[in-house]
Chain A
Amino acid sequence: MTRNVKISIKNLYKIFGPTPDIALEHARQGMHKADMLEQHNHVLGLRDINVDIHEAEITVIMGLSGSGKSTLIRHLNRLIDPTAGEVQVDGEDIMNYTEEQLRQLRRERMSMVFQKFALLPHKTVLENAGMAKNIRGYTIEDFEGDARKWLARVGLEGNEDQYPHQLSGGMQQRVGIARALVSDAQIMLMDEAFSALDPLIRSDMQDLLLALQEELKKTIVFITHDLDEALKLADHLVILKEGEVIQQGDPQQILLNPGDPYIEDFISDINRARVLRVRSMMSKPDPEETEYAGDISEKDNLEDVLRKSGGDMTLNFRVMRGGDHVGTLHMKDLALALVPTPASADRSAA
Chain B
Amino acid sequence: MATYDSLFETLGLKEWCSEGASSGPMSMADLLNKTSGKSEQPTSLWDTPFPSMDALNESCAAFPQSRELTKGLEQGFLAIKDSLSLVLDPLTQPLSWALDGALYAMLNTPWWIVIPVLLAVVFLVTKSWKLVAFVGGSIVLLAFIDHYDYAMQTLAIIMVCAFLCVLLGVPIGIAMARSNTLQRMIIPILDMLQTLPPFVYLIPLIFLFSVTESKLYGIAIILYAIVPVIRLTNLGIRLVDKDVIEAADAFGMTPRQKLYKVQIPLALPNIMAGVNQTIMMSLAMVVIASLVSAPGLGVLVLRGIRNLELGVGLVSGLGIVILAVILDRVTKTSLARINVSQKQ
Contact with A along B252-277 (1 / 0, CB 8 A): 11100100011001100000000000
The reply to whether A122 and B265 contact each other, CB–CB distance below 8 Å, is yes
Contacts of A134 in B (CB 8 A): 261
Kindly state whether residue A272 has any CB partner on chain B within 8 Å.
Answer: no
Given A121-B344, A165-B343; A107-B265 close (CB under 8 Å): no
Contacts of A183 in B (CB 8 A): 251
Kindly state whether residue B68 has any CB partner on chain A within 8 Å.
Answer: no
Given A104-B252, A107-B252; A118-B341 close (CB under 8 Å): no
Kindly state whether residue A106 has any CB partner on chain B within 8 Å.
Answer: yes
Given A118-B244, A120-B244, A120-B262; A112-B251 close (CB under 8 Å): yes
Cα of A311 to Cα of B266 in the assembled complex, Å: 60
Given A165-B343, A165-B344; A118-B252 close (CB under 8 Å): no
Q: Which of A111, A114, A115, A121 is within 8 Å of B266, CB to CB?
A: A121
**B116 CB to closest chain A CB, in angstroms?**
32
Cα of A232 to Cα of B180 in the assembled complex, Å: 45
Given A79-B246, A112-B247, A114-B243; A135-B343 close (CB under 8 Å): no
Q: Which residue of A lies closest to B245 (CB)?
A: A118
Given A118-B241, A121-B266; A135-B342 close (CB under 8 Å): no
Kindly state whether residue B250 has any CB partner on chain A within 8 Å.
Answer: yes
Q: Which of B244, B253, B265, B341 is within 8 Å of A135, CB to CB?
A: B253
Contacts of B15 in A (CB 8 A): none
Contacts of A131 in B (CB 8 A): 251
Kindly state whether residue B74 has any CB partner on chain A within 8 Å.
Answer: no
Q: Which of A111, A118, A135, A164 is within 8 Å of B257, CB to CB?
A: A135
Q: Which of A105, A110, A116 is within 8 Å of B243, CB to CB?
A: A116
The reply to whether A121 and B342 contact each other, CB–CB distance below 8 Å, is yes
Cα of A131 to Cα of B344 in the assembled complex, Å: 17
Q: Which of A79, A111, A189 is within 8 Å of B249, CB to CB?
A: A79
Cα of A77 to Cα of B252 in the assembled complex, Å: 10
**A328 CB to closest chain B CB, in angstroms?**
48
Interface residues of A in 287-320 (CB under 8 A from B): none
Interface residues of A, CB < 8 Å — how many? 31
Contacts of B265 in A (CB 8 A): 120, 122
The reply to whether B246 and A114 contact each other, CB–CB distance below 8 Å, is yes
Contacts of A107 in B (CB 8 A): 251-252
The reply to whether A118 and B249 contact each other, CB–CB distance below 8 Å, is no
Contacts of B262 in A (CB 8 A): 120
Contact with B along A159-192 (1 / 0, CB 8 A): 0000111000000000000000001000001000
The reply to whether B246 and A121 contact each other, CB–CB distance below 8 Å, is no
Kindly state whether residue A103 has any CB partner on chain B within 8 Å.
Answer: yes
Contacts of A121 in B (CB 8 A): 244, 266, 342-344
Cα of A105 to Cα of B250 in the assembled complex, Å: 10
Contacts of A276 in B (CB 8 A): none
The reply to whether B249 and A106 contact each other, CB–CB distance below 8 Å, is yes
**B243 CB to closest chain A CB, in angstroms?**
4
Interface residues of A in 111-135 (CB under 8 A from B): 111-112, 114-122, 131-132, 134-135
Q: Which of B249, B250, B253 has the most CB of A within 10 A?
A: B250
Interface residues of B in 299-322 (CB under 8 A from A): none
**A130 CB to closest chain B CB, in angstroms?**
11
Contacts of B341 in A (CB 8 A): 122, 163
Contacts of A163 in B (CB 8 A): 341, 343
Contacts of B343 in A (CB 8 A): 121, 163, 165
Q: Which of A106, A122, A136 is within 8 Å of B250, CB to CB?
A: A106
Cα of A117 to Cα of B250 in the assembled complex, Å: 13
The reply to whether B344 and A77 contact each other, CB–CB distance below 8 Å, is no
Cα of A105 to Cα of B251 in the assembled complex, Å: 9
Cα of A119 to Cα of B243 in the assembled complex, Å: 9
Q: Which residue of A lies closest to B241 (CB)?
A: A118
**B55 CB to closest chain A CB, in angstroms?**
50
Q: Which residue of B lies closest to A111 (CB)?
A: B251
Given A135-B252, A135-B253; A114-B247 close (CB under 8 Å): yes
**A274 CB to closest chain B CB, in angstroms?**
33
The reply to whether B247 and A103 contact each other, CB–CB distance below 8 Å, is no
Q: Which of A116, A122, A136, A165 has the most CB of B within 10 A?
A: A122
Cα of A110 to Cα of B252 in the assembled complex, Å: 9
Contacts of B243 in A (CB 8 A): 114-118
Cα of A114 to Cα of B244 in the assembled complex, Å: 9
Contacts of A118 in B (CB 8 A): 241, 243-244, 246-247
Q: Which of B244, B247, B253 has the most CB of A within 10 A?
A: B247
Q: Which of A106, A116, A122 is within 8 Å of B252, CB to CB?
A: A106
Contacts of B247 in A (CB 8 A): 112, 114, 118-119
The reply to whether B251 and A132 contact each other, CB–CB distance below 8 Å, is yes
Cα of A163 to Cα of B342 in the assembled complex, Å: 8
**A157 CB to closest chain B CB, in angstroms?**
23
Chain A residues proximal to chain B, CB less than 8 Å:
77, 79, 102-108, 110-112, 114-122, 131-132, 134-136, 163-165, 183, 189
A-B contact pairs, 27 of them (CB 8 A): A79-B246, A102-B252, A103-B254, A106-B250, A106-B251, A106-B252, A107-B251, A107-B252, A108-B252, A111-B250, A111-B251, A112-B250, A114-B247, A118-B243, A118-B247, A119-B244, A119-B247, A120-B261, A120-B265, A121-B266, A121-B344, A122-B341, A135-B252, A135-B253, A135-B257, A163-B341, A163-B343
Q: A110-B250, A115-B243, A122-B265 are in contact. List 12 more A-B contacts (CB 8 A).
A: A77-B250, A104-B252, A106-B249, A114-B247, A114-B250, A120-B261, A120-B262, A121-B266, A121-B343, A135-B253, A135-B261, A189-B250
Top-9 shortest CB links A-B: A106-B252, A107-B252, A118-B247, A118-B243, A112-B250, A103-B252, A122-B342, A116-B243, A165-B343
